[in-house]
Amino acid sequence: MEAIAGTLGLNLTGLIWHAINFLVLFLLLRQFLFKPVVGMLDARAARVRESMEQAEQARRAAEQAEADRQALLAETRREAEQIRARADEQAKRILSDAETRAKERQQQIEAQAEASARQIEERVMAQVRAQLADLVVTAVDRVTRQALDTSAQRGLVQQFLSTNGDRAR
């Protein structure tokens, strides 16, 4: 072996010492460096996994919150639509009631106006009859020159007006 090492230009004892040093260094590094580094890497991997799980939980919570928000929004829209529908219905009912009251009030006013017009007409007709009766009495008085007394003349005129007044209507 020394012949091979000599032809290659190797120092066999130096090579053995280097191999022993390498093995000792490897064992020391493995004991004091690799184990703590691997432990730190494992701890970091565990923290990363935990962070990923927390992120996944947060994502699921956010999705659930979004779904809840959408459901609440839809429910709020339905409630708003129901409120609007009830308000529309109530407004229609109020308008209908107001229209009915207005028509009733209009009919009352028309009835009062008709009654007032009839009363005025009757008063005017009574005044016209009275004036006509006075004119007739005066005319008859002049024509007959006191042939009948005044109360008899009025009675005749009233009788005439009542019979002729019914025909005029």
Is residue 50 within 8 Å of 57, Cβ to Cβ?
A: no
Which pLDDT score is estimated for 109? 94
Domain that holds residue 37: 2-168
Query: φ and ψ at 101, to 5 degrees?
Result: -65, -40
DSSP 52-74: HHHHHHHHHHHHHHHHHHHHHHH
Which pLDDT score is estimated for 113? 92
Is residue 135 within 8 Å of 154, Cβ to Cβ?
A: no
What is the pTM (predicted TM-score) of this model?
A: 0.41
Cβ atoms within 10 A of the Cβ of 17, count? Answer: 11
- Listed in sequence order, the residues at least 6 apart from 157 whose beta carbon sits closer than 8 Å to its beta carbon are 132, 133, 136, 137, 140
Domains held by the chain: number:
1
* CA triple 52-53-56, angle to 5 deg: 85
pLDDT tens for the 169 residues of the chain, in order: 667 766 777 777 888 899 999 999 999 988 888 888 888 999 999 999 999 999 999 999 999 999 999 999 999 999 999 999 999 999 999 999 999 999 999 999 999 999 999 999 999 988 888 888 787 777 776 666 555 567 777 777 788 788 776 555 5
Is residue 169 within 8 Å of 156, Cβ to Cβ?
A: no
Which pLDDT score is estimated for 126? 87
Which pLDDT score is estimated for 147? 56
